[in-house]
Structure 1
Amino acid sequence: MALNDESLQELKAELLDELVKEVPSKTLLSLRLAETRSADIGEILEEMIEDDEELPAALSLLDILSAERAANVLGYLPGESQLEVVGKLDDSQVLKLLEEMGSDERADLFNLLSEDRREALLRRMAHREREDLKRLASYEEGTAGAIMTSDYVSIASGMTVSQAMMRVRQTAPDAETVYQLYILDSDGQLIGTMSLRQLMVARPGAIVDDIMIKDVISTRVDDAQEDVARIVAKYDLLALPVIDVDDRMVGIVTHDDAMDVAESEATEDFHKGMSIGQLEDGVSRVRLWSLYRKRVTWLVLLVFANLFSGAGIAYFEETIAAQVALVFFYRY
């Protein structure tokens, strides 16, 4: 069950009461956290991190979680909060979190770290993981490559349905989604796609090339995130495959990541419409002084514009009094 704000505050108070004890009951905390969704834990953790006095408790809370759960919770935190957390952890702890995070979230966090920290972590990674991380982190911000994940299920061209099912079972634990499968040729180029449902109902001996969808909707790594979000929304896709300049498949943009982009763009447009620019934490959580600084320039300009407008009306007051209809032309 999703928690409302009041329930979240009650849970936060309970966790803090237990965490500040000299010998907190990790068993009790583990059971309580096991019943709580990762998104709700992330929200509580973010509030703790913002308070310097509660930061040690936040780190203790994260330490109680398994590495997989902790990485999942960390993914719900904004970049600044993630940096605050990893800044208090040693390289081995950060490495465990990175290994459990999705490839896209891992690359985002990696790009936030200092150059020295990146090099130290890369030296301790396996070659394959290191190269994958470096590739994902190299894509320019605002492009499809920056939000894609390399954790997807691919099937080699020419496989039978039974072979493809075995491939799905092998790669499913690490995949972002298993509901959409991608068929690649020997050069790694995307030649077709199919849903898991299609694969499950097909004859075991059938060749995937004969039942796949060949008209594949895809995007390039350097396409704008906004365009990616529009494509996903327009065609109601679970995931959108991403290809490089050589038409090789390099990742997917999932529906939830695309919707995050759409939400971010809508929020930015809303802020622009209010003439306050982009806000990191939203209007409801930003400080009054920050709102004032972002709005004051436009407010001053509007004041002077109103003064000039009033002066113009006053100057032509007699003419306007004689021809009232002129007011409408003046204003519009």
Structure 2
Amino acid sequence: MAASAPRVFVSHLAGTAVFDPNGDQVGRVRDVVALLGRRRLPSVLGLVVEVVSRRRVFLPMTRVTGMESGQIITTGVLNIRRFEQRPNEHLVLGELLDRRVTLQETDEQVTVLDVGMHRLPARREWEIDRLFVRKPRRGGGLRGRRGETLTVEWDAVTGFALVEPEQGTANLLATFEQLRPADLANVLHHLSEKRRAEVAAALHDDRLADVLEELPEDDQVEIIGKLKDERAAVVLEAMDPDDAADLLGELPEDERDHLLGLMQPQEAAPVRRLLAYEEGTAGSLMTTDPIVLRPDATVAEALARVRDEDLPAPLASQVYVCRPPDETPTGRYLGVVHFQRLLREAPFVLVGGIVDTGLNPLPPSTSLPALTSYLAAYNIVSAPVVDEGRHLLGAVTVDDVLDHLLPDDWREAVAMGTPLDGAGAAGGGRAGAAGSGGGVLPGPAPEGGRQDG
């Protein structure tokens, strides 16, 4: 690193790639860990790095040798023992951004937009020494002019030690704006319950719905329970019906019925149908929104539907051909057309003429083992579910099957960085990297406290 003691603002670190000395990427930065209160300026202990398995590990700042050009270079290997926050430690992105603090000179409240840290000369230790803040709106109210922004010294403000009842989220959300829903869900899972509720309240309905689908069940129930009932119903409407049904199935019956009553009838209807099926059957696992086409639809129309970027890959693997009506439960089910067959046919060909009728549909009572064998036997990732009258009710996709084959807490295990097979390290603590090679060290940290050197 340059000898001029660089300064970095932490919002620029979010999502930054972390490389080992060999140039191999080992993860991405998700937060910065700081220790407040022991010295005049807070010490930066290290970075929270998310490795490929979505495990969050601790990277001591003493192991950072380069921090420039949108990348971070480390010495040695990363120990992948799961990161656990200790008392008096603060996550800078998760906890300090959007805090309201007081300028000592003017006794004026300001909002923290970013936090700056610098490296101590000739050392690998870092301190927080700057804050980028915004003053209140001028003129008051929503029409007042946006407040002035300025950079101040850390010790020019007070108030970080106080518990703030309502902390903003704008700058935290901006930092993680480009994250995929699964990655943002991982961020939410690691926030405090209070901060998680604040961020969930600030997310747009569709974005929150996507994130909820990726969270462990306990987090889903916690978040939906803290939303106003009307908004909770809107978010449930935005979720895939099968995911909404799974979430509602975790709630007490009276609360579930209340939320269903607040949903739009056309949105609540498929969710009610899914809740009526026995748990662990094809009916309870299916989605009610597969691609349904009439037999007189063309290959060009089918491919246009498959190209929808919001469509999960398993559902895009095949289209279901049915008599009208097109909404589930449909008219009589005729068969499927696989995506590869669509690619081999001319755009004007009618899908009714290329239907695969050899793939027998499943009744909604099909058990999970039978469903798993069906998908494996036919080498497919999606299966049609029909009623006794051969009306298409929905489709079961391989991801839904995996959700139920894995342990109940698999989402939490992945979010917490715990291997599903029980191998590897568990527990908290800080472990510094050891050795001169690169990569990730797959073993538990030494006992006896933080090993940062």
TM-score w.r.t. structure 1 length? 0.69
- How far apart, CA to CA, are the structure 2 residues paired with 1:128 and 1:174? 21
Partner residue, 2:247: 109
- Contact 1:104–1:146 under 8 Å retained in 2: yes
Count of matched residue positions in the alignment of Structure 1 and Structure 2? 266
1:244 pairs with one of 362, 372, 387: 387
The CA deviation at 1:27 is 4.4
Percent identity of equivalent pairs: 27
Higher RCO (CA 8 Å, separation ≥ 6 residues): 2
Question: Do the aligned partners of residues 158 and 235 (structure 1) sit closer, same or farther apart at CA in structure 2, a change above 3 Å counting?
Answer: same
Letter in 1 for 2:57: E
- How far apart, CA to CA, are the structure 2 residues paired with 1:163 and 1:41? 34
- How far apart, CA to CA, are the structure 1 residues paired with 2:112 and 2:205? 20
C-alpha RMSD of matched pairs (Å): 3.3
The CA deviation at 1:175 is 4.8
Letter in 1 for 2:350: I
SS in 2 for 1:113: coil
1:146 pairs with one of 259, 262, 284: 284
- Contact 1:136–1:145 under 8 Å retained in 2: yes
- 1:228 paired to 2:348: no
Question: Do the aligned partners of residues 29 and 46 (structure 1) sit closer, same or farther apart at CA in structure 2, a change above 3 Å counting?
Answer: closer
SS in 1 for 2:406: helix
- Contact 1:194–1:212 under 8 Å retained in 2: yes
String of CA shifts for 1:147-190, please: whole Å, max 9, x gaps. Answer: 11111101112333345456x27x94775422310111346232
1:6 pairs with one of 44, 57, 73: 57
The CA deviation at 1:245 is 2.4
The CA deviation at 1:70 is 1.5
- How far apart, CA to CA, are the structure 1 residues paired with 2:347 and 2:184? 43
- How far apart, CA to CA, are the structure 2 residues paired with 1:282 and 1:115? 34
- How far apart, CA to CA, are the structure 1 residues paired with 2:426 and 2:255? 30
The CA deviation at 1:197 is 4.1
SS in 2 for 1:132: helix
String of CA shifts for 1:108-146, please: whole Å, max 9, x gaps. Answer: 112222333233323332222121111111111111111
SS in 1 for 2:321: strand
Partner residue, 1:16: 94
Letter in 1 for 2:208: A
Higher share of residues assigned strand:
2
Question: Do the aligned partners of residues 88 and 19 (structure 1) sit closer, same or farther apart at CA in structure 2, a change above 3 Å counting?
Answer: farther
Question: Do the aligned partners of residues 55 and 194 (structure 1) sit closer, same or farther apart at CA in structure 2, a change above 3 Å counting?
Answer: same
1:210 pairs with one of 330, 353, 367: 353
Question: Do the aligned partners of residues 221 and 30 (structure 1) sit closer, same or farther apart at CA in structure 2, a change above 3 Å counting?
Answer: same
Question: Do the aligned partners of residues 202 and 94 (structure 1) sit closer, same or farther apart at CA in structure 2, a change above 3 Å counting?
Answer: same
Correspondence list, 1:1-332, <5 A: 3-4=50-51, 5-6=56-57, 13-18=91-96, 21-22=99-100, 23=111, 25=113, 26-48=169-191, 54-165=192-303, 168=305, 172=308, 175-176=311-312, 177-186=315-324, 188-264=331-407
- How far apart, CA to CA, are the structure 1 residues paired with 2:93 and 2:236? 26
SS in 1 for 2:249: helix
Question: Do the aligned partners of residues 17 and 127 (structure 1) sit closer, same or farther apart at CA in structure 2, a change above 3 Å counting?
Answer: closer
Structure 2's unaligned 5+ residue stretches are 1-26, 29-49, 59-81, 101-110, 114-168, 325-329, 411-419, 428-453
SS in 2 for 1:41: helix
- Contact 2:293–2:319 under 8 Å retained in 1: yes
Letter in 2 for 1:196: F
Question: Do the aligned partners of residues 207 and 262 (structure 1) sit closer, same or farther apart at CA in structure 2, a change above 3 Å counting?
Answer: same
SS in 2 for 1:199: helix
Question: Do the aligned partners of residues 183 and 19 (structure 1) sit closer, same or farther apart at CA in structure 2, a change above 3 Å counting?
Answer: same
- How far apart, CA to CA, are the structure 1 residues paired with 2:245 and 2:112? 34
Higher share of residues assigned helix:
1
Partner residue, 1:300: none
- Contact 2:287–2:395 under 8 Å retained in 1: yes
- Contact 1:217–1:240 under 8 Å retained in 2: no
- Contact 1:184–1:191 under 8 Å retained in 2: yes
TM-score w.r.t. structure 2 length? 0.52
Question: Do the aligned partners of residues 93 and 220 (structure 1) sit closer, same or farther apart at CA in structure 2, a change above 3 Å counting?
Answer: same
